[in-house]
């Protein structure tokens, strides 16, 4: 079995702090792997020797128990017989052989046990000494590595401090150079901007003068063009007014002629109406009953209707020669014929 001390040592430490100017990591790891494998073999050999010693101890105990059994059996056999006839030469010989055999077995077992125990003790001592030496060598090597690590850290700190100081000085120099360069660039930029500003102001003044001249020229052209268009529009308007005046005069004359024609038609219509009134008056006078018609009507009441019809037929035939007026339609006078245009 692996002891608590072995558990503290195995596995070996493999991770250390990185430092400049130290040992090669791969070589250190290879050496640690080799050392760890060697320690594991030693521990395995020690465990095997201890297991063998335990086995031999168990065999020794078994041999001792067998020896005790044989001794008790021999003691039992060596007891004097109760009767003399029980003891004979053959039995005595057997007892002697058994005692000799038991002594031989006891001696052999004791010798084997002592030899095995001595070998186990010697192997354990050798393994313990070897393990102790390896542990001491490992501790010495670890102390050396730790010392080298501390030295490397100290040198690294010193070098880092030196590099920091150099970097600070370099930064100050670069800051000064950058400040001088910045001031130079600002001066050049201001001079360039002043020159560009003057050139731009001159260009703006030239552009303003050119734009003003061009605007005046365009205004003059626009004024002339507007005057020409106004004259053309005035002439066109005058022409259209004359045409409209002529057309209006013609329309007025035609309307006057139509009004005169309508007045003539109105006079003709009035004359026709007067003639129609006269005809109606004559018709009304013709429709009034005569004295003869009144007497005939009275007689017809007495005689009958037939004589009245005969009497009425005579005046009707008499009046056929007179023109009869046209009957009224719905109580209105007949409309006169329209005059021909």
d(CA 23, CA 32): 13
* 122 within domain boundaries: yes
Asked whether the predicted pLDDT for residue 266 surpasses 60, the reply is yes
Q: State the Cα angle at 128 between 127 and 134, rounded to 5°.
A: 85
Domain that holds residue 55: 4-166
Residue 308 lies in a domain: no
Chain segment 305-323, per-residue pLDDT in tens: 444 445 444 444 444 444 4
Which residues pair with residue 332 across a beta bridge?
Answer: 329
Q: Is residue 289 part of a domain?
A: no
73 in a domain, yes or no?
Answer: yes
What's the confidence (pLDDT) of residue 118? Answer: 82
- Quick: pLDDT tens for 207-241: 888 888 888 888 888 888 888 888 888 888 888 88
Within 13 Å, how many C-alpha atoms sit on residue 210's CB side?
Answer: 6
Residue 153 has pLDDT above 70, yes or no: yes
- Range 55-84 average pLDDT: 74
**What percent of the chain clears pLDDT 90, i.e. is strictly above it?**
0
Give the chain's domain count.
Answer: 1
Contact 66, 123 (CB under 8 A): no
Indicate if the pLDDT at residue 341 is higher than 50: no
Q: Is residue 149 part of a domain?
A: yes
Q: Tell me the per-residue pLDDT of 96-106, one tens digit each, with 9 for 90 and over.
A: 777 777 788 87
pLDDT at 293: 61
Query: Considering only 129-133, 136-140, 293-297, which range has the smallest mean pLDDT?
Result: 293-297
CATH number of the domain enclosing 162? 1.10.287
Within-domain flag for 140:
yes
Round to whole Å and give the CA distance between 154 and 158.
6
258 vs 240: CA distance, rounded Å = 27
- What confidence tier does 148 reach under pLDDT thresholds 50, 70, 90? confident
Place of tokens 């053959």: 90
Looking up tokens 């209707």, which residue turns up?
305
Residue 247: inside a domain: no
Report if residue 142 sits inside a domain. yes
Angle between helices 305-318 and 291-303 (to 10 degrees): 160
């Amino acid at each position: 079995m692996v002891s608590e001390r072995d558990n503290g040592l195995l596995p070996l430490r493999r991770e250390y702090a990185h430092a400049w100017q130290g040992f090669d990591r791969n070589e250190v790891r290879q050496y640690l792997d080799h050392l760890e494998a060697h320690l594991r073999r030693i521990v395995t050999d020690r465990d095997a020797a201890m297991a063998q010693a335990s086995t031999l101890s168990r065999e020794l105990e078994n041999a001792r128990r067998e020896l005790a059994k044989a001794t008790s059996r021999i003691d039992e056999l060596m007891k004097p017989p109760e009767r003399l006839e029980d003891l004979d030469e053959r039995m005595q010989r057997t007892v002697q052989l058994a005692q000799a055999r038991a002594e031989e077995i006891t001696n052999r077992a004791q010798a084997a046990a002592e030899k095995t125990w001595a070998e186990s003790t010697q192997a354990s001592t050798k393994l313990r000494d070897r393990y102790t030496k390896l542990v001491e060598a490992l501790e010495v090597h670890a102390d050396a590595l730790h010392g080298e690590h501390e030295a490397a850290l100290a040198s690294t700190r010193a070098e880092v401090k030196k590099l920091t100081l150099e970097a600070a000085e370099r930064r100050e120099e670069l800051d000064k150079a950058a400040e001088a360069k910045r001031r130079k660039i600002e001066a050049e930029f201001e001079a360039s901007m002043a020159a560009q500003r003057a050139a731009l102001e001159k260009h703006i003044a030239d552009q303003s003068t050119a734009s003003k001249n061009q605007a005046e020229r365009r205004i003059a052209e626009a004024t002339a063009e507007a005057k020409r268009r106004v004259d053309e529009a005035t002439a066109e308007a005058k022409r259209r007014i004359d045409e409209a005046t002529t057309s209006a005069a013609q329309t007025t004359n035609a309307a006057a002629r139509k009004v005169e024609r309508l007045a003539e038609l109105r006079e003709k219509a009035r004359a026709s109406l007067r003639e129609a009134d006269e005809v109606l008056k004559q018709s009304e006078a013709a429709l009034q009953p005569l004295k003869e018609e009144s007497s005939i009507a009275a007689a017809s009441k007495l005689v009958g209707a037939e004589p009245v019809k005969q009497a009425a037929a005579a005046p009707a035939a008499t009046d056929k020669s007179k023109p009869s007026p046209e009957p009224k339609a719905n109580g209105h006078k007949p409309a006169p014929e329209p005059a021909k245009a």
